Amino acid sequence: MEVYLSIVIFIFGILFGSFFNVVGYRLPKGLSLIHPGSFCPKCNHKLKWYELIPIFSFLIQRGKCRKCKCQISFFYPCIELLTGILFVISYFLFNITPEFFIAVLVSSFFVIVIVSDVNYLIIPDETTFFFSFSIIILKFFLFDYNIGIYSILNGMFLFAIMFLIMLLGNKIFNKESLGGGDIKLMFFVGTVLSLSNGLFAIFLASFLALPMSIYVYVFKKNRVIPFGPFILLATIIIFFTQIDFLDLLTNITS
């Protein structure tokens, strides 16, 4: 039964991953998620249903458009596979519990932000609002009223902290140091994690982003990195491991 459920969840994951590719590519450009249907960005060929099977269509077509034979980005199936894997990990860690649904929402937002922030350096406000309020509603209905209110206050506090970090960074570097999407993203983080873990997520995200920051500083001219995926990666790591930063800090200092 557990293997069967895992397979079903993985299939749902890659299907959602295919949709998240659409969301991540279209929303930053202000395009509809429904019309037009999926098409090849090179020749505008409208894709048939059998060209839209997550991962498998890419493999069967050897990573090429069936009509113009142009290479399809490997990014698409990677996002589909990543979503499926994260959904299955969520199931193995939390079973079918309220935490599972939160893990699925965090994972979903993570892959959308990877697509949008890596390609356009934009985190669409619509996705941040949708996933933030989805988490809040879940906490009100699946946990209790106090936890729901605490999540909102947490989000507001972390939003304010990130805003202050942005102002400080702007003053030090004399240019925009953080995007508005990253600041709003911290509201979402606050709905998922405790206050201490949310602050730890900022530190962990900065640490995870350090290798890419060094690479971009040395080899790239624009010297801009998408920070949103690292914030959400840190959030996923903390939520999946269920680590408590205050307990960790106490054990280290004691």
Q: Please tell me the distance from the alpha carbon of residue 231 to that of residue 209, in angstroms, as a whole number.
A: 9
Q: Can you list the pairs that 209-215 forms with residues at least 24 positions away whose Cβ atoms lie under 8 Å?
A: none
Q: Please tell me the distance from the alpha carbon of residue 75 to that of residue 63, in angstroms, as a whole number.
A: 11
**Residue 170 CA neighbour count, 13 Å, CB half:** 10
Bridge partner list, 46: 39
Question: In the chain, what are the domain boundaries?
Answer: 1-96, 100-254
**Residue 179 CA neighbour count, 13 Å, CB half:** 17
For residue 46, which of 65, 31, 71, 62 has the smallest C-alpha distance?
65
| Sign of the torsion angle spanned by Cα atoms 38, 41, 181, 117 | positive
What does the pLDDT read at residue 222? 65
The pair of structure tokens assigned to 26 is 């279209």
Question: What is the DSSP code string of 69-127?
Answer: -PBPPTHHHHHHHHHHHHHHHHHHHH-SSHHHHHHHHHHHHHHHHHHHHHHHS---HHH
The pair of structure tokens assigned to 231 is 């914030």
Q: Give the gyration radius of the chain's Cα atoms.
A: 19
Tokens 């930053």 found at: 28
What does the pLDDT read at residue 107? 97
DSSP code, position 50: G
pLDDT by residue for the chain (254 residues), tens only, comes to 688 899 999 999 999 999 999 999 999 988 888 877 777 777 777 877 777 788 988 888 877 877 787 887 889 999 999 999 999 999 999 999 999 999 999 999 999 999 999 889 899 999 999 999 999 999 998 888 888 899 999 999 999 998 888 888 777 767 666 777 888 999 999 999 999 999 999 999 989 998 888 877 777 666 678 889 999 999 999 999 988 877 776 777 76
What does the pLDDT read at residue 97? 92
The pTM is what?
Answer: 0.90
What does the pLDDT read at residue 133? 95
